[in-house]
A and B are shown apart, each in its own frame.
Chain A
Amino acid sequence: MESMKLSEARALRALLVAASANVDDRTASTAPKAFPRLRGGGELIAAGTRICWPVDGRTCVKRAAVDLWDTAENAPDAAPTLWEDIAYRDGERIIPETITAGTAFAEGELGWWGDVLYRSKQDANVWTPEAYPDAWEVAE
């Protein structure tokens, strides 16, 4: 790796964070570390701001549901109601508990159920892998 000065690394980080605000949730889920992190410094975090947050040893993206202050009390683990999960993980949808016709999975579409990635075996799939296992197969 080419040597890098502190100012260059900080500039690159700032550019990455700025650019991350413009990507959709699917893309965001492929690179959570591009998003800002909570520092506990008390700054205002506007509703809709996405952040990088560690969960079970990996990082994920959380979205502020309301305007809030960056404090330990308002962090996702301490105040989960202030934050929303995005509907994607590693670029694939997270299968919701309730799937509507509008959010049905197409045949071949991948989805996360817990920590397992499944592939839908049928079109217009509105069942979770738990509710109707035959509609899904574990993706390799």
Chain B
Amino acid sequence: MKYIFRIFYDLTTGEIIFFYTQTGEAINIMPLSHDFAVYPQLADRTEADTGCLEWLERDEDLETKLTSGEYIATVDVTQTPHALVFTEPPVDPNPTLTADEALAIITGEAE
């Protein structure tokens, strides 16, 4: 079973622009130039300003982290080679509470 997972990112900021996964015996692993020509997310971009990280073996943990929405994914472009990094989104130190949450704090049942 063939597999490919590509992540495209801005070479200056490390911001992820687009990623895709393909799996199956019938897939053709195409050159990057094909992706730049085909995918609208990469329109107006070139390999000069856009990097690509590629996996040819499945990494379910990586896929889950990338799609779960629980992490902020970026590419660390200060490293050589560039590396995908996950960070947890900042926690709001002063969130708006539901009525039940507020009541629990006011009555001392929660802190």
Contact = CB atoms under 8 A, between A and B. Distances in A.
Contacts of A94: none
B97 interface: yes
B80 interface: no
B107 A33 contact: yes
Interface residues on A, range: 10 to 19
Interface in A1-38: 1, 3-7, 9-10, 12-13, 16-17, 33, 35-37
A17 B101 CA distance: 18
A52 interface: yes
A10 B99 CA distance: 14
Contact of B97 (A9, A17, A33, A52): A9
Contacts of B93: 6
B96 A4 contact: yes
A1 B102 contact: yes
A5 B102 CA distance: 8
Contacts, number: 42
Interface residues of B, number: 14
B15 to A, nearest CB: 31
A52 B108 contact: yes
A1 B97 CA distance: 11
Nearest to A10: B105
Contacts of A3: 96-97
B95 A9 contact: no
Contact of B94 (A7, A16, A37): A7
A4 B104 CA distance: 12
Contacts of B99: 1
A3 to B, nearest CB: 5
A36 B106 CA distance: 11
B108 A6 contact: no
A33 B108 contact: yes
Interface of B: 93-97, 99, 101-102, 105-109, 111
Interface of A: 1, 3-7, 9-10, 12-13, 16-17, 33, 35-37, 39, 52
11 contacts: A1-B99, A3-B96, A4-B97, A6-B105, A9-B102, A9-B105, A10-B105, A16-B106, A35-B108, A36-B108, A37-B108
